[in-house]
Amino acid sequence: MKITELLLAELDREAVGIRKTLERVPEGKNDWKPHEKSMPLGNLATIVATIPAWLDMVVNMDELDINPPGGPKFRPQEWRTRRDLLGQFEASLNKGREVLQQTTDDRLLNTKWRMLAAGKLMSEQPRYVAIRDGVFNHMAHHRGQLTVYLRLNEEKVPAIYGPSADEGKG
């Protein structure tokens, strides 16, 4: 089996948990944070919704500067309704799937991708590793954060890899 096929299958499996999580994000609380140092709920939900499209950057760009000197800082796309948020996710998922379907294992394994911050090299690694670390692991990390935000807002936490306190118990 090709690596691209394995990644597509994993993306489809992860999409189920992401969708279930985003379906529970409360509307009207985009500015809510559990702590002053934490990211606002709206930004976190947007990141979770749009991470699958990051596959496009890793596969089709040679590098990304997340805070380019003299350039615009990263700003998550705004959303107001859960429907808008889920629409962002579906578009992102479709883009991620399309990118994986169009690339090759050779490109993922034998070409490198670089991440910079303010012009400073943060990482340089094979695209496959960047996909694992910067997309899939990052996706699980932020989805986990988002489930904590759900709990703190009295929303039900979905079962993802197994039962949660709210869902999936026999």
pLDDT band at residue 169, thresholds of 50, 70 and 90? confident
Q: Is the pLDDT of residue 155 over 80?
A: yes
CA 46 to CA 74: how far, in whole Å?
Answer: 12
Convert the pLDDT of each residue in 39-63 to its tens digit: 999 999 999 999 999 999 999 999 9
Closest by CA to 41, choosing from 29, 23, 28, is 29
Mean pLDDT of 12-17: 98
Q: Is the pLDDT of residue 78 over 90?
A: no
More confident residue, 46 or 74: 46
Ordered domains of the chain (ranges, CATH): 3-152 (1.20.120.450)
pLDDT at 170: 62
Mean pLDDT of 99-114: 98
Q: Is the pLDDT of residue 74 over 90?
A: no
Asked if 143 and 51 touch (Cβ cutoff 8 Å), the reply is: no
pLDDT at 70: 86
Least confident of 9-23, 65-79, 132-146: 65-79
Long-range contacts of 14-18 (CB under 8 A, 24+ apart): 14/136, 14/139, 14/140, 15/52, 15/93, 17/143, 17/158, 17/160, 17/161, 18/48, 18/49, 18/89, 18/139, 18/143
Convert the pLDDT of each residue in 17-34 to its tens digit: 999 999 999 999 999 999
CA 160 to CA 167: how far, in whole Å?
Answer: 9
Q: Is the pLDDT of residue 76 over 90?
A: no
